[in-house]
Structure formats: structure tokens, C-alpha cells
Structure 1
Amino acid sequence: MGLFDDDFYSTKVSRRVRTTSSRDEFAFSNKKGMRSWSNVRVAFVASFTSAVAAVLLFVLVFGGGGFGPGSHPASVSASGSTSLEQRTIQASAKVRPAVVSVINEQTVPYGLMPDTGSTEDGTGSGNDSQVQGSKQEVGVGSGVIFKLENGKAYIITNHHVIANAESVKVLLVNGEKREAKIVGSDQITDLAVLEMDGKDIKTVAEIGKSSKLQPAEFVLAIGNPLGLGDSLAMGIVSKTHRIVPVSLNEDGVYDWQQEVIQVNVSINEGNSGGPLINMDGKVVGINSMKIAEVGVEGLGFAIPIDNAMPIVDSLMEKGYVSRPYLGVYTVDLEQYFAQQQMTDQPAGGDTKAGKGEGSANEDSAEVQDLPDLKLPDEVLDGVIVLEAVGPAKEAGLALNDVIVKLDEQSIGSTMELRKYLYDQKKIGDDIKVTFYHDGKLKTASFKLEEKTKDE
């Protein structure tokens, strides 16, 4: 996903110190003073004092669970650490049987064999077992079983884990491999749902509430990092709500913003799609990506489970996510101007155009192929229409029109267009598009339709 990749880093678990204190005060009042007490009362007080002293000595020597006026800090700290360790063990044991490895298989075309090593003379592949034109394992990620129904087990994973897969296999924690089917997938949210035979599947992960997470709360990431199999990593929640830009088409152009949980648990390649769980063993996020830059460590991200479950429900019901559909494929005007400044340079690195409202696999035009645009000098931000279809085409938008507003909201990029459309509008809503056509400012109003799976 552009600069974002899947990578996880494990941190040292800090000890949690709990201290509780209580004080019991005993007052004996006698107007004549202690010297007038009876022998019985003096004996009672002496016995009680001895008993209290014995209890305090026991607590100091053996530790008393962190209570009483003489609680020892070291005893309390050790007790708290043991409690955290037990919660970690119990939480992971609760979820681990529901965590699976997800294998993406694709046909390797002739002449495009993956580099699996060199022979002694430095030429050719070192793996003779792979045959060009056959299906090969091209990627491995993780997933979590969240539902059992009618003999089927359903798995949440990332879209990028199963993207372009011709077949998908699931590896259970016991080592058994099963065929899986893609129920639905959504590139925008990077989520997908798989279905497999539910025979002998006993454990289903419990879904928690990401809205209840707090900064510094301990969390566990479970998955299949680097293809090594079942693995755990622990850390804390760095920030419960973070917005990061992503490149949906992996072309270096940020065209979406993802809402994520930031954690200092690292997500290594293969950890993607696995669950992020709290200390109660409940899924609070789906591990998704990291900042993949030199010198950056412990900066991983997970999709909040509160955001994920409505998408999962839509994928289960329809196989896709229902969103309002404007019907334009666009490129940012800023990219166009940048390309215009490079016209004197030799043809080389092609600059790809942005892909409209979020479609995954359109063939995009190159910015350098666009004709000169007729725009007022003050217009520097907007999106160029590469193709208009559906409702936009019917409303009169065409190639090379430049959209500058949706309703009264200024639009300066494809990202802003998507965010306004998906966050602020619903299917069936009216929308007003303000755009330049042959240098003239125009508007078009129409109803937003539903974007189907094919579109």
C-alpha cells in the first residue's frame, strides 16, 4: 500500500505496579487515662498489638498481595507482573486456535518466474520444482475465524493478502491445509472475508470494542510473520485514532486516508490480516500495515474492529461494499502541472494517473497524453476527468473536464473527492458537481447511484 507494508516489532513488557493501602485506626478513650484501665483491658490491648505486629512482619517477609498498612512495594510489583503474564497467556490461548495462515496462489506466467535463487554458475533458478505456467504461492498472510454457520467457517483477513489470487488456501494452527473461497473483498478498507469448510473447527474469536481501547493499554498481535507460522508479539496502544495516507493503487500517489490504531507492536510481512487482541482475548483490530521507511521502528497499524465489522457484514451479505457512485475516473490537476514541467525531459519514467473513485484495476491514461487544458490562471487545484460513466456521463461530464467542487466543498485531489463522497454522501443523495468544461465554469446536479461490485 504505497509506503505502507506489513511489518511488526515486539517490545519488552513493562511491569504494572498496583498498590493499595488501608489503615485501621483503633481508639480507646478513657477520661482517667491509661493508668486507670483494668488488667483485663491492658492484656487485651497488649495481645491485639502483638497480633498486628505479627501480621505486619509476615507481610514484609512473605508478601501479602499488596494490602494493609505495611505493604511492601517489591511484593506488590512482583504480584502485578505475575498477573499480567497470566492474562497474556490466557488471552493468547483463547484466540490462537482461531488464527490461520492465508496463502495466495497465482499462476506464474512464462518468462516471469519468481527469483528463487541462483545456480552455482549464477544463471537460472535454483528451484527446479517450480514449473512456469502453474500455480505458485506468491504471498502468505494471516486471518482470524470469526464465525461458524451452516458447516462453514468464515475468516477476516486483509484485501492485500488475497489480492489477485486465483486460489486461496488456509493453514490451520494444527498444520492442516484447507481450500478457501473469497466471499468478498474491499480495497478501500483493505478487508476481505474468506469461507472454508468448518468441520472440526471449535474456536471462534470473540469480537471486542476498539472504542474502549486506551493509550498505553497492552495488546497482542497474532499471525504468521515471515511465513514462520503461529507467532505472538506484544506491545501497547500508542494512539487509539490515527489517520494515515495510503496509495490504493501502489503508484506512489496517496488517494485515500485510512483510520487506524497505532501500536508499537511490529507487523512483519505475513502478519497482515491477523488479529490484534486485548488482555481479555477479544479482537480489537485487524493488523494491516506499518511505516516502511529507513530508521522507523515500532510503528505498526491495525484497522479498528468497530470500523471493520460493518464492512465485514456488507461483504458477507453482498460480496462488496455498497457505496455512492459518482462515475468518474480522475487524475489530480497537481500531477498534470508537474508533468507539464517535465515535457522537455526525455521520455522515461511514466507518471500514472490516479484511479478515480476507488476502482482497483482500471487501465489508466498517462498524464503526458492529456491535451492542453483550458483553465483560468487562478485554478491550480482540482481533478481531471479521464473518463465519465454512469450518472456523471448522463449529467454531461466528459474527458478533460476539471472538477473543482462537490456541492459547496472544494475538491483539490482524488483523495478529497473520495473522502467527501464516501464519508458525507449516501446512495440516492443529490449532489452538485462544479467543473470547468473548455475553460467555462459549469454545474451538474444528479442523484448518486450505488457502486456495484463490477464497477
Structure 2
Amino acid sequence: MSFWDDDFYSTRVKRRTRKESSFGQGSSYGRSFRSGSGFRVALVSSLVSSLLVATVFTFAIDRPSHSASHPVTANGLTVTSQPMVAAAAKIRPTVVSIINRPGEPTDAERDSLPMDGVENSSLGSGVIFEKKGGKAHIITNAHVVEGSGSLEIVMVNGTTKDAKVLGMDTITDLAVLEVDAKDIDAVAKVGKSADLQEGETVIALGNPLGLSDSLTDGIVSNLRRIIPVSLSQDGTYDWEEEVIQISAPINPGNSGGGLFNLNGEVVGINSMKIADLGVEGIGFAIPIDDAMPVVKQLLEEGKVPRPYLGVYAIDLKSYLDTQKAMDMPSLPSLPDGEEFGQGSQGEDGESEDGVPSPVVPDGVENGVLVLEAVGPAKEAGLKLNDIIVGLDDKPVNSMMDLRKYLYNSKKIGDTLSVTYYRDGKKQELSVKLAENSDDNE
């Protein structure tokens, strides 16, 4: 029987055979019972009834009474959801809806917008985590407030307030907002995501699909799931997020909302879900232990300072795959000795559109292809079409490798050794890393 057979979930029980279900069949007791007198039948029936009454009475005496933690309703039902009800009442006032209205559109964009412009706004959620100096601070996702012209929060009681961004960081997808603290009485208690256990019940609260103050529950499916993401939303994975996987539904608008334990403590910031046909119950939240150090930096500096190399680049493998797809029909006619990647070059080493093509040495399939060098990289001598294959003698196979090494292993002001190929020849240079003023490498 396969796992998905309907019978697997059926509550039906196979009908017992007469041999299996006949009481005492095959025993001497059964034979004497069937052949006995009416008196024996009455006697046995009386004994069985007495035994049944005694068993029921004993069970009733020994059965423990309901404790205070499991209250009983008027109709006698045990209230097992009481901890979740209590947590929901505690956390609801701490989660807000966020309305992101973009900046003033261009004339061309304005012609295509609805008359009221409402559909052009985007929705998200946030968690009030502190009040200080007459202001309240809210954690949310960077992608919720990105590109905003104006921001507005809506509290659980319907009160609206204008909000401003104090800081945001696209790498961790976190942002901090500030609003007037008047009439804000509830602040979320920050818990510890390190204390979570797989299988533990959690609550996700936010503004899914514009349905503000919406609560769902689930369990912690995985404490440290590594998910590749595309920071530039171009389909190329260039970063990895370590997140909590949960079974609570996460829908558009839930982003930036809180993930809470049953004590009412925020243990994560809801961030993303896998959106695919047939996929259900797979959502992700940023662990609060990872989020709070970033939040502190955003409050103090408005950004997360990171080392800056200064290259606009793509994965070499992506470039080679594209060239292979474009040049496949003409590969048999390539001149002898011409290296792959040069098939569309003219005699001057330029492509048909006048842009020089990179020289990719035989056997080199992974690395980072430089499209433009600026800042520290340009000052050090990196150029268009250089192929970076190593940083500090550590291999670099992709933009994700480059970014992770920079952000996890280097500091602003450090010197970085870069190994690269130029015109097919392997070379090396040193770059002094500056502070990153945006999200470039």
C-alpha cells in the first residue's frame, strides 16, 4: 500500500472473521456456555454486569480531576488552547500593519496608475519592540519599506500613525521604523530564539493580504534552515539566509510581523515563504537573536557598516552558460585554438556590439566576472572582464562566495589579496577595503 492510498487515512476497520470474533470459540468454556441451562446464562450475565460496574466505578474514582491549567467549560469540555488564547491577547497590540506608499511617480508611471493610487501601495507588518523618549520603535523587513515615499502604521485598534525609517539593511532584510509613542501602551517582550525547540508551538501575527491583526499558529520545523536568496531579485542567488522554518502560514503582508512563543515573547521576524504550486506550510522567520544586533546598529548608525571591494560582477558560470546557449550552433566552425567565450569577437577582440569579450582560460569554469570596477577595486587596478577566482588564497566560485567572505571574514580598512585572470593570465593584487556606502561589493 502506498503512502498516499486513501485507505491509509481511513478510519474503517477490517471486518473480523467469524472465527476471530466468536467469544470463547474452541474452548471448553465456550462449549459449556452454549450447551448450559438458562440458569447458567443468567448467572454468567449477572457476573459480567457486576464486573463491568465495578470497573467503571474504579475508573471514575482514580481519574484525576482537571487542574487549574486545564479549565473546564460549562458543558464539561477541557480548554486545551488556553495558553495560546492568553498569548494572543498579550501580543496583538504589539504588532502593526505597515502601508508603504511609493514616492511621486513619473509622468509615464502616473498614466498607468489607478485614479486613487491605492493599488500602488504595498502592505507589510511590524513589531513594536521599545518606547524611548516619546518615540516607539518598530522592527520590520527591509523589503517592506524599500522604495517608500511615505509610511503609515495601523495599530490593532485602528489608530494610524506616520512612520519614518531610522535605518535598513537589505543583506539581513531588516529595518527599524519610528513613530510617535502617544497611545502606544504595549511593547513586545524580546525572547531568545536559541531557546526554541523543534516541534514547539509558535504564533505568527501580521497583516496578510491586507487582513490586519491576523493570527496563525504552527510548529518549529527546523531551527537553522539555510535558504539561498537573490538580493537584487534578478533570479541569481547571491546570498544565504539562516532562518527558522515554521509550519504557520506566511502570506504576502505577513512580512515583518512577529513570530511568538506561547509565553508571548517575540522569537523571530517573519520574512519569507516558498511560493510554489502545491507547497503549503513552509514559512521562514529571521531568528530574533540574529536580528537584535542588527537592530542595535540600525538605531545607532542607520545602517550596518560592511567592507566594500567595489565591483559590479556576475558569476562566471552564468556567463559561460549564456555564451554556450548563444554559440552552440556555431561551435563546430570555431577556428582552431580560439578559446571558448571568444566566438563572437571580431579581429580586434571585441564582441559584435563593440564591447570587449573576456578571455576565459581552459579549465576555468567558476569565478566572478567583473563588469565594472569602482572605488577601492578600481584604485587597485581591477578592470572590466577580469575574472576573480580567489580572495586571500581562498577559492571564489561565485558572487555568493565573494560576498560571504567579505562580510564574514573582513573588516573595513583590511587589505584583501585578490587572485584573478586577465587576458588568460593569472595575476594577483591587493585592495584596501573601504566602508560600504550601499549594497555593492
Matches for 1:55-454 after TM superposition, within 5 Å: 57-60=60-63, 63=65, 65=67, 82-83=79-80, 85-106=81-102, 107-112=104-109, 129-130=115-116, 137-343=120-326, 371-453=356-438
Q: Given that residues 320 and 453 in structure 1 are in contact (C-alpha distance below 8 angstroms), is that contact kept between their aligned partners in structure 2?
A: no
Count of residues paired in the alignment: 357
1:27-77 deviation line (CA, Å, top 9, x unaligned): xxxxxxxxxxxxxxxxxxxxxxxxxxx9975442x73549xxxxxxxx9xx
Q: 1:427: Cα distance to partner?
A: 2.2
* Separation in structure 2 between the aligned mates of residue 370 and residue 213 of structure 1, nearest angstrom: 54
TM-score by length of 1: 0.73
Q: Given that residues 357 and 385 in structure 2 are in contact (C-alpha distance below 8 angstroms), is that contact kept between their aligned partners in structure 1?
A: no
Which entry has the higher C-alpha Rg, 1 or 2?
2
1:370-428 deviation line (CA, Å, top 9, x unaligned): 53222320111000111212222221111111100011221111111111111122223
* Separation in structure 1 between the aligned mates of residue 202 and residue 394 of structure 2, nearest angstrom: 39
Q: Given that residues 206 and 258 in structure 2 are in contact (C-alpha distance below 8 angstroms), is that contact kept between their aligned partners in structure 1?
A: yes
Amino acid at match of 2:291: A
Q: 1:345: Cα distance to partner?
A: 9.4
* Greater RCO, CA 8 A, separation 6+: 1
Q: 1:454: Cα distance to partner?
A: 8.3
The structure 1 segments of at least 4 consecutive aligned residues displaced by more than 6 Å after TM superposition are none
* Separation in structure 1 between the aligned mates of residue 111 and residue 354 of structure 2, nearest angstrom: 33
* Separation in structure 1 between the aligned mates of residue 120 and residue 297 of structure 2, nearest angstrom: 29
Q: 1:194: Cα distance to partner?
A: 0.6
TM-score by length of 2: 0.75
Matches for 1:31-42 after TM superposition, within 5 Å: none
Unaligned runs of 5+ in 1: 1-53, 67-74, 117-126, 347-365
Q: Given that residues 99 and 223 in structure 1 are in contact (C-alpha distance below 8 angstroms), is that contact kept between their aligned partners in structure 2?
A: yes
Amino acid at match of 2:127: V
Structure 1 residue matching 2:92: 3-state secondary structure: helix
* Separation in structure 2 between the aligned mates of residue 254 and residue 91 of structure 1, nearest angstrom: 37
* Separation in structure 2 between the aligned mates of residue 369 and residue 403 of structure 1, nearest angstrom: 23
* Aligned-residue CA RMSD (Å): 2.9
Unaligned runs of 5+ in 2: 1-56, 330-350
* Separation in structure 2 between the aligned mates of residue 423 and residue 329 of structure 1, nearest angstrom: 19
* Separation in structure 2 between the aligned mates of residue 280 and residue 151 of structure 1, nearest angstrom: 27
Structure 2 residue matching 1:82: 3-state secondary structure: coil
* Separation in structure 2 between the aligned mates of residue 421 and residue 81 of structure 1, nearest angstrom: 56
Report the CA distance shift for 1:454/1:323 in structure 2 as closer, same or farther (over 3 A).
closer
